[in-house]
Amino acid sequence: MSRLGWDAVNTFVAEFNQLDLVGLVRQAERATAAQVEAALAAGRRRSLADFAALVSPIAGKPPYLEELARQAHELTIRHFGRVIRFFAPLYLSNECINICRYCGFARDNPILRVTLTLEQVLEEAQYLRGQGFRHILLVAGEHPHFVSGNYLRNCIAGLRPTWPSISLEVGPMEVEGYESLVKAGAEGLVVYQETYDRMVYDRMHVSGPKKDFDWRLESPERAYAAGFKRLGIGTLLGLAEWRQEAIAVAAHAGYLLRKCWKSQLTVSVPRLRPAAGEFEPLVTVGDRDLTQFICALRIMYPEIGIVLSTRESARLRDGLIPLGVTLISAGSHTEPGGYTGQGKEQLHLTKGGRQVKPQLPFIESEGEQATVQFHIADRRSPAEVVAQLQRMGYEPVWKDWERVLNES
Ligand code: SF4
């Protein structure tokens, strides 16, 4: 064992392999009213079996869904107040060596690709600062040539003087790789498992390093060992049955809260959105399902951050905010250069990792921009979202003071 609890043998993978996920999903499907009431009354002693009851079909109907919503709202106010933190994704690159069937950046999609230079990244970031953001999430496809550790370190170091909070959503790394990014100034690491169903995961991740389920599942622990102060996990809803994903991500969150207790934990619940490749969700996750999932997560873990991105519509986002959401994005672009048009000159068309001639048919982008990872649903500007939050009695928070506290 070395560093902050990094032990390559005793990771969540071992616990996940012992988890009776099938049994818990069966419990959820068969939960009775008495079990839902017991789970709602269990307080801090809630188990995964209680969580299964909270995401059960019966808990998703009156009168229980209303009670879930009431408790989730009350707990959120108690732990976070009427405060919503903002972050902005900044896409660095849409080059990727993986083929994930649901993603517009997949290697085999013939799309316009680019990796922004440091100067272009700073231009994009400057625009976002002008919108009010102070927490930035750097997002990139997984490509060792274009998105190397060195490239990421340079981007972080360039942004650090003007960005109090820098998080990353990039391909998983060894502890040493993560350490160098922490040293450069990154404090948050987001890595979604996408799906916790091993068979679906294998089918969805056709080729590339991402095919290794366990390597990805251990990433938050490697990031913690490297010193990241914030860890983000999540499941991409639409790939496998949502109750199963909810129970698995709750198990993962519970494990990380115990093991990685010095870091803040956020859980994200993105639903699949249209993207290049025109992948259709394998399962339907309705608005009511998503609402129930968020309420159950909040009740189970009152202290975790819950992230809701612009993948969801304005109407739904406004409705979900009082139920447990603590961190949102606004006015997002999911392509490199999307905010200011940076990188247009370097755009190139690739398919299967190779550059192809522009006259070949390719997936159109909006104007002469790099192709987006997925299309967003809430197109309101940050200012419009802030105004709506204020009408709802919430205070928007742009700047996180954690770094100051950490350094004091
Ligand atoms: S989901 Fe990530 S790893 Fe997979 S193709 Fe898209 S950018 Fe690459």
Identity at 128, one-letter amino acid code: L
CA dist., res. 160 & res. 334, Å (int): 22
Provide the pLDDT for residue 162: 96
For 102, 211, 351, 352, 356, the CA distances from 110, given in Å and listed in that order, are: 14, 21, 4, 8, 8
106 Cβ closer than 6 Å to some ligand 1 atom? yes
CA dist., res. 241 & res. 233, Å (int): 18
Quote the tokens at residue 309: 């991105």
Provide the pLDDT for residue 405: 46
pLDDT-derived band of residue 273, with 50, 70 and 90 as boundaries? Answer: confident
The atom number, within ligand 1, closest to the CA of 194 reads: 1
Nearest-CA residue for ligand 1 atom 4 is 100
3-class SS of residue 70: helix
pLDDT-derived band of residue 3, with 50, 70 and 90 as boundaries? Answer: low
| Per-residue pLDDT at 32 exceeds 60 | yes
Is 120 in contact with 287 (CB distance < 8 Å)? no
For 33, 275, 288, 392, the CA distances from 61, given in Å and listed in that order, are: 11, 32, 9, 26
pLDDT-derived band of residue 8, with 50, 70 and 90 as boundaries? Answer: confident
Query: What is the sign, positive or negative, of the torsion defined by CA atoms of 341, 342, 347, 353?
Result: negative
pLDDT digits 0-9 by tens, 102-158: 999 999 998 889 999 999 999 999 999 999 999 999 999 999 999 999 999 999 999
277 Cβ closer than 6 Å to some ligand 1 atom? no
Cα 273 to middle of ligand 1, angstroms: 14
CA dist., res. 296 & res. 59, Å (int): 9
Provide the pLDDT for residue 310: 93
pTM for the model stands at 0.94
Quote the tokens at residue 200: 């679906």
Provide the pLDDT for residue 64: 98
E strands present in 101-215? 111-113, 135-140, 165-169, 188-190, 205-207
| Per-residue pLDDT at 269 exceeds 80 | yes
Average pLDDT over residues 269-290: 89
Provide the pLDDT for residue 403: 52
Q: Rounded to the nearest 10 degrees, what angle do helices 287-300 and 64-80 cross at?
A: 50
Average pLDDT over residues 372-394: 94
- Burial annotation 215-228 (CB, 10 A radius, 16+ → b, else e): ebbbbbbbbbbbbb
Provide the pLDDT for residue 304: 97
CA dist., res. 62 & res. 82, Å (int): 26
| Per-residue pLDDT at 279 exceeds 60 | yes
Provide the pLDDT for residue 156: 98
Average pLDDT over residues 338-342: 94
Provide the pLDDT for residue 401: 58
Provide the pLDDT for residue 372: 83
Average pLDDT over residues 37-57: 95
| Per-residue pLDDT at 167 exceeds 90 | yes
CA dist., res. 26 & res. 16, Å (int): 17
98 Cβ closer than 6 Å to some ligand 1 atom? yes
Nearest-CA residue for ligand 1 atom 2 is 141
Provide the pLDDT for residue 361: 44
Which of 93, 97, 103 gets mutated to test ligand 1 (max ligand atoms within 8 A of its CB)? 103
Tokens 């102070």 map to which residue?
Answer: 134
Domain architecture of the chain: domains with CATH: 72-407 (3.20.20.70)
Query: Out of 28-42, 49-63, 343-357, which region has the weakest mean confidence (pLDDT)?
Result: 343-357
Is 187 in contact with 165 (CB distance < 8 Å)? yes
Cα 399 to middle of ligand 1, angstroms: 29
CA dist., res. 137 & res. 331, Å (int): 14
Query: Residue 41's CB: how many other CB atoms inside 10 A?
Result: 11
Provide the pLDDT for residue 344: 83
350 Cβ contact partners less than 8 Å away, ≥ 6 residues apart: 95, 110, 111, 113, 356
| Per-residue pLDDT at 359 exceeds 80 | no
Average pLDDT over residues 223-250: 97
Average pLDDT over residues 49-74: 98
Q: Find the distance separating the first CA and the last CA of the chain, reported in whole Å.
A: 29
Question: What percent of the chain has a predicted confidence (pLDDT) above 70?
Answer: 92
Provide the pLDDT for residue 1: 46
Provide the pLDDT for residue 358: 53
The atom number, within ligand 1, closest to the CA of 97 reads: 8
Provide the pLDDT for residue 371: 79
CA dist., res. 225 & res. 222, Å (int): 5
Peptide bond preceding 164 in cis form (omega within 30 of 0): no
